[in-house]
Amino acid sequence: MNVYADNAATTKMSRTAINAMLPYLDECYGNPSSLYWLGQQAAEALQNAREKAARCLGCEPGEITFTSGGSEADNQAITSAAALGEKKGKKHIISTAFEHHAVLHTLKKLQKQGFDVTLLDVHKNGIVSAGEVEAAIRPDTCLVTVMYANNEIGSIEPIAEIGRVCRRKGVLFHTDAVQAAGHLPIDVKLQNIDMLSLSAHKFHGPKGVGLLYARKGIALTSLIEGGAQERGKRAGTENIAGIAAMAAALEESTAHLEENARSVSALRDRLIEGLSGIPHSILNGDRTQRLPGNVNFCFEGIDGESLLLLLDQQGICASSGSACTSGSLEPSHVLLAIGRPPEIAHGSLRLSLCEWNTPEQIDYMLEQIPQVVTYLRGMSPVWRDLQEGKKHYVIQ
Amino acid sequence: MLYSETVMDHFTHPRNVGVIEDADGVGEAGNPVCGDIMKIYLKVKDDVITDVKFITFGCGSAIASSSMATELIKGKPVSEALKLTNKAVAEALDGLPAYKMHCSVLAEEAIRAALKDYYEKKGLPFDEAGSLATQAATVPAAEDKIKKENQTQAE
């Protein structure tokens, strides 16, 4: 049996999204900047997509800038807010320790330019409180950037509360909603969000396209110089096919958000319950404030990469926060941020589901995963030492 | 594909997995914090490695490196096993990704540690047989070199 359980990495495109993009790969190939009918046809598609996306987010079409994806949107949001802050002599930014690298690396760059960055603790369950954000705000704070939901452990942050605090204090609030868009409700006005990033391929849209919402009046800094596309804030001929497909996918997933959340979280809960039966395993992230499709466990005594390779042999596509899977020697900064020791963080497994996963696939994973964990533990010197009482279990 | 066919073969069908309860030499390398531990057990008769087993905590290349390293020394005289290098392990595996080369270094270290243990148990000076002093110095140096190479690549 084949099981795709890595929907937090990317998703399969929906038929709706594919159909929405096809005309712009075929007959409707015009450049939206051209005056003749073929170009204007593309310009119209661009405008329609912008309106559609705006309806899904509760904002104005003019507040949306199309980008190459979530990383670019994160980079642009933070760079813009920093530039605005710097003009007023405000060079302090608040974020969390477990943001995506698109955020953390941008912040690191700003630190080199003299910005002061506070990374808030996300506690054992991976959730920061609005009160902690408020306490960290200083007179020179120009930006708070907190992700809506974490990509590895799925914990959901109280962004509406954080938004309220920021609005009251007059500090810009950006949220990286890459994992949340299409899966959790978004209403930028209601949630007091000033800037929001999302990426199409996390909700059955195509790869290489995303968007940045920035509230009217927030001047964006261009990361790409050139033509006057996207109101002069993002040069380069627009990816019309990708943008049209993203809008269609966002509209579709937003329309089915509640029913998908219900069915997917039911599968998630069965998977969590089943995997909890593996001795010396622990769920990462909050049990209830959790993305509908996210399951993330640490298994003591084994390495995540070996686990993934063996699961792959059984047809299961999953991911891990193990160092070895990322090309670095450091285990996941997210798991370290929630207090998992490195040796435990190495043994993590992330399964991320979508509405197309079936109960049969859950059963299959619950049959395969414990077997693979047992097999790897059988050849692990760490597990042997734990079993012989030479070391103490970290996970009880 | 991240790994060569040989690496995948040794990972999915590792040779010489297990422990030897009455081993003549036992060696360990690595630590759980960095994500890899290898433990090697040797059985030696007339200065020939008659049996070797391993248990490993780590990624695919760590398990494959352990498996290949044990194959390379099985049935060989101790003096020859002492000459095993991480490069030889990696080459026998048809190569490892640059950032996984440290796995082959661990295999070399674990085998050397097991041989050292064998010498010590026999009351023999390890220096004479394997010129440990020079080899011990080259192993961390090799790791440093790999780290540096990785950094350059990452940048």
Q: Could you say which of A220, A236, A255 is where a domain stops?
A: A255
Query: In this complex, is the C-beta atom of B14 within 8 Å of any C-beta atom belonging to chain A?
Result: yes
Structure tokens at B55: 């248990």
Helix (H, G, I), strand (E, B) or coil at B40: strand
Structure tokens at A136: 């960290």
Residue A261 confidence (pLDDT):
98
Domains: count for chain B: 1
Can you tell me the mean pLDDT for B144-155?
Answer: 47
Q: Could you tell me if residue A3 is inside a domain?
A: no
**A78 shares a domain with A33:** yes
| Assigned token pair, A254 | 């937003």
Q: Which residues of A touch B62 (CB under 8 A)?
A: 303, 306
Q: What is the pLDDT along chain A (396 residues), one digit of tens a residue?
A: 999 999 999 999 999 999 999 999 999 999 999 999 999 999 999 999 999 999 999 999 999 999 999 999 999 999 999 999 999 999 999 999 999 999 999 999 999 999 999 999 999 999 999 999 999 999 999 999 999 999 999 999 999 999 999 999 999 999 999 999 999 999 999 999 999 999 999 999 999 999 999 999 999 999 999 999 999 999 999 999 999 999 999 999 999 999 999 999 999 999 999 999 999 999 999 999 999 999 999 999 999 999 999 999 999 999 987 655 555 667 899 999 999 999 899 999 999 999 999 999 999 999 999 999 999 999 999 999 999 999 999 998
Could you tell me if A50 and A183 lie in one domain?
Answer: yes
pLDDT at position B126: 81
CATH number, position B18? 3.90.1010.10
Taking a C-beta distance cutoff of 8 angstroms, is the pair A176, A100 a contact? yes
Task: Note whether B57 contacts A: Cβ–Cβ < 8 A.
Answer: yes
Is pLDDT of B147 > 60?
A: no
Domain extent at residue A315: 257-387
- Same domain, yes or no, for A312 and A272? yes
**A198 and A238 co-located in one domain:** yes
The residue among A213, A229, A255 that closes a domain is: A255
| A63 lies in the same domain as A169 | yes
- Domain assignment of residue A359, yes or no: yes
Q: Name the pTM for this structure.
A: 0.91
- From the list B62, B69, B103, B113, the catalytic residue is B103
CB atoms within 10 A of CB A185: 13
pLDDT at B151 over 70: no
Nearest to A382 among B32, B100, B102 (CB): B32
Model confidence over B15-55: pLDDT tens digits? Answer: 999 999 999 999 999 987 778 999 999 999 999 999 999 99
Contact A379 B38 (CB under 8 A): no
A315 phi, psi to nearest 5 deg: 90, 10
Q: At what angle do helices A101-112 and A70-87 cross, to 10 degrees?
A: 30
Helices and strands (H, E) in chain A, number of each type: 14, 12
When CB atoms are compared, the residue of A324, A343, A384 closest to B59 is: A324
Which residues of chain B lie closer than 8 angstroms to A322, CB-CB?
A: 35, 59
Active site residue A166: no
Asked whether residue A116 falls in the same domain as residue A166, the answer is yes
Cβ-Cβ contacts under 8 Å, B28 against chain A: 381
Report the pLDDT value the prediction gives residue B131, as an integer from 0 to 100.
Answer: 46
Q: What is the mean pLDDT of residues B60-65?
A: 95
* DSSP element (H, E) containing A213: strand A210-214
Nearest CA in chain A to B12: A310
pLDDT of residue A334: 95
Amino acid, res. B1: M
Among chain B residues, the shortest Cα distance to A325 is held by B59
Average pLDDT, chain B: 85
Q: Based on the domain organization, do A353 and A209 belong to the same domain?
A: no
Q: Quick one: pLDDT band at residue B134, thresholds 50, 70, 90?
A: very low
In a domain, A392, yes or no: no
Give the model's pLDDT for residue B145: 47
The answer on A344 and A216 residing in a single domain is no
Do A22 and A40 reside in the same domain of the chain? yes
pLDDT at B135: 44
A249, A270: one domain: no
- A396 in any annotated domain: no
pLDDT, position B31: 82
Structure tokens belonging to residue A316: 């299961």
Q: Token digits for A114?
A: 């003299």
Residue A329: per-residue pLDDT: 65
What domain range includes position B110? 5-154
Residue entry with tokens 């630190």: A111
Q: What is the CATH number of the domain that holds A149?
A: 3.40.640.10
Last residue of a domain, one of A238, A255, A272: A255
pLDDT score, position B34: 75
With tokens 């608040």, the residue in question is A94
CA atoms within 13 A on the CB side of A381: 27
Judged by a CB distance cut-off of 8 A, whether residue B10 touches chain A is no
The helix (run of H) or strand (run of E) holding residue A387 is helix A381-387
- Residue A191 Cα, gap to closest chain B Cα (Å): 38
Burial grade of A210 (CB within 10 A; 0-12, 13-18, 19 or more): buried
| Claim to verify: residue A116 and residue A191 sit in the same structural domain | yes
Say how far apart CA A189 and CA A187 lie, in whole Å: 6
CA dist., res. A123 & res. A337, Å (int): 8
pLDDT at A245: 98
Whether residue A9 lies inside any domain: the answer is: no
Residue A94 domain-assigned (yes or no) = yes
Four-CA torsion A331, A334, A339, A340, nearest 10 degrees: -40
In a domain? residue A199:
yes
Residue B138 predicted with pLDDT over 60: no
Do A285 and A358 reside in the same domain of the chain? yes
Instruction: Nearest by CB to B33, from A322, A342, A383: name it.
Output: A342
Strand, coil or helix: what is A2?
Answer: coil
